[in-house]
């Protein structure tokens, strides 16, 4: 079971790091009562952070159970999206580029 966090590829690195941290917490707070979240948090709570294009970001927003984060210092632009942890992920998630 793992949580995916997607960061837009045009977000400056410093903001991307903050967005990833905020995204993890925002997803936990939004879904903390959900059984899948409870199962995830009781274990190793794996996270996968990926860098995605705007097109990939917009398509990912159609997947259920997520929270979108904005950055006030970037004119409230959407910068990240975090998904409730799950066992199985839609196929595109396997091809997103890991954030390095």
User: Could you state, in chain order, the average pLDDT of each consecutive group of 10 residues for the chain (100 residues)?
Assistant: 97 96 97 96 94 98 97 96 97 95
Retrieve residue 48's tokens: 């996968």
Report the predicted TM-score, pTM, of the whole model to 2 decimal places: 0.96
| CATH code, domain carrying 13 | 3.40.1490.10
How much is the pLDDT for 42?
Answer: 95
How much is the pLDDT for 60?
Answer: 98
Domain count, the chain: 1
3-state helix, strand, coil in the chain (%, to 5): 40, 30, 30
Return the C-alpha torsion angle 15, 16, 21, 27, nearest 10. 110
What's the domain range around 64?
2-98
Distance CA 68, CA 91 (A): 20
């Amino acid at each position: 079971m793992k949580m995916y966090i997607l960061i837009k590829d045009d977000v400056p690195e410093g903001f991307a790091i903050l967005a990833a941290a905020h995204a993890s917490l925002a997803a936990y707070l939004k879904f903390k009562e959900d059984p899948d979240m409870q199962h995830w948090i009781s274990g190793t709570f794996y996270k996968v952070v990926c860098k995605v294009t705007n097109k990939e970001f917009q398509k990912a927003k159609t997947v259920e159970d997520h929270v979108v984060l904005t950055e006030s210092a970037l004119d409230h632009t959407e910068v990240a999206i975090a998904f409730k942890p799950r066992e199985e992920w839609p196929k595109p998630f396997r091809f997103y580029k890991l954030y390095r």
